[in-house]
Amino acid sequence: MEWTGPGVVLSTRKHGETDTILEVMTAKHGRHLGLVRGGRSRKKQPLLQPGNELHLTWRARLADHLGVFAAEAVNLRSGDVMSTAFALHAVQHVAALLRLLPERDAHPRLFSALSVVLDHLDRFDIAGPLLVRFELLLLNELGFGLDLETCAATGRTDDLAYVSPKSGRAVNRDAGQPYHDRLLPLPGFLVEGQRQPGSEISYEDVKSGLALTGFFLDRDIQSPAMTGIADVRERVLNALEREYRANYPWSFG
């Protein structure tokens, strides 16, 4: 058995004296593990850092075997990943989220979205909103997608301001106002035609977006891994808040 293609490093762990078990996200083969012989060597260690994109060849005698990876550098992002606490925690967060997927299930849209998030880690004001969108896509890929296009009560597409915690559908501001304390806020950057990532999106908007996606992840995903995800999410938010306070104090009114 053999395949070749791009993959993004999610994690590594030691195996024996010199080898490494590599966990990657690929476009056609989903989240995939394999052995890298000599992966702990000085030559290979810099390649096998979280966030790096590699050209991979995987070989195994049988399809269900762990297999062996051969890896070459494509896009080494590890410098950006290590540059800030936010970037480091963000990579850990998306990796933890992807572990909610069954191994080797193809999710090409998530692979593309992962690459977009990682390519913008040097811009927290863009990467933060992209993380929210990544979680929305993950929910959709897992079969728990939200409907943020039209109002659940009126069918209107304008001035969408809330999300129903029961149905996961958007609600117009006027229709939702009498029940606003029971509804989840819908940040404007998630509404078509409103603000997009990078255009003066406040920390509170990003925080509300992650609270929205976090609510449905906690409610719908029955996995012990969710405890660890909540911990990493808290570190992402704390690091993101520090970046916003240092660079965009207006974001806090």
Band of pLDDT at residue 250, cut at 50, 70 and 90 = confident
Percent above pLDDT 70 for the chain: 96
- E strands present in 168-253: 170-172, 184-185
Write the single-letter amino acid at 171.
V
Provide mean pLDDT across the span 120-148.
Answer: 96
Encoding tokens for residue 93?
């967060």
Task: Specify the 3-state DSSP secondary structure of 15.
Answer: strand
Q: What is the pLDDT of residue 253?
A: 61
* CATH 2.40.50.140 is held by the domain 2-76: yes
Write the single-letter amino acid at 224.
P
pTM over 0.95: no
Closest CA to 80 of 67, 90, 69: 90
In the chain, where are the structural domains located? 2-76, 81-148+186-252
Q: Mutual orientation of helices 203-220 and 225-247 as an angle, nearest 10°?
A: 180
CA distance 112 to 190: 19
pLDDT in tens, 179-229: 999 999 999 999 865 554 445 788 999 999 999 999 999 999 988 888 889
Measured from the Cβ of residue 194, the count of other Cβ atoms closer than 10 Å reads 13
Q: What mean pLDDT, rounded, does the chain reach? A: 93
